Amino acid sequence: QVQLVESGGGSVQAGGSLRLSCVASGRTNSDTALGWFRQAPGKEREYVAGFRWKTDNLYYADSVKGRFTISRDNAKNTAYLQMTNLKPDDTAVYYCAVGRPILSALRLPSHYMYWGQGTQVTVPS
């Protein structure tokens, strides 16, 4: 069982920055992956960024490359999503999730077993 708690959301003007945090507790292992997802009203949940615990590889959606940076602090069991140059299209509820997806399924929400409660990010247009 893994528990995830996100924080750091808020409202920021276009061009601004936010940093989201995801604290994980419970049992994880090297086969698991952590992903940040987001869901805007009326839209499907989409992959934003993530990593697999056993590698240093980082993965990003094309829409956030160059603007968002995912990182982790293993000692604190915490993952971060640094978001810069935010746009109104980034408005969504952001979730962190943990699962054991194969590499080809890394971006699919259905392959993640544990989810946080979500944190709202709003970028007014």
Q: Judge whether 37 and 46 are in contact, CB under 8 Å.
A: yes
**What was the pLDDT predicted at 39?**
98
Quote the CA–CA distance of 114 and 1 in Å, as a whole number.
Answer: 8
How big is the chain, counted in residues? 125
Q: Judge whether 46 and 66 are in contact, CB under 8 Å.
A: no
Is the per-residue pLDDT at 109 higher than 70?
A: yes
**What was the pLDDT predicted at 22?**
97
Average pLDDT, integer, range 100-125: 94
Quote the CA–CA distance of 29 and 15 in Å, as a whole number.
Answer: 37
Six-digit token string for 123: 């970028």
Is the per-residue pLDDT at 46 higher than 90?
A: yes
Is the per-residue pLDDT at 30 higher than 80?
A: no
Quote the CA–CA distance of 86 and 64 in Å, as a whole number.
Answer: 9
Average pLDDT, integer, range 52-78: 93
Quote the CA–CA distance of 83 and 86 in Å, as a whole number.
Answer: 7
**What was the pLDDT predicted at 32?**
86
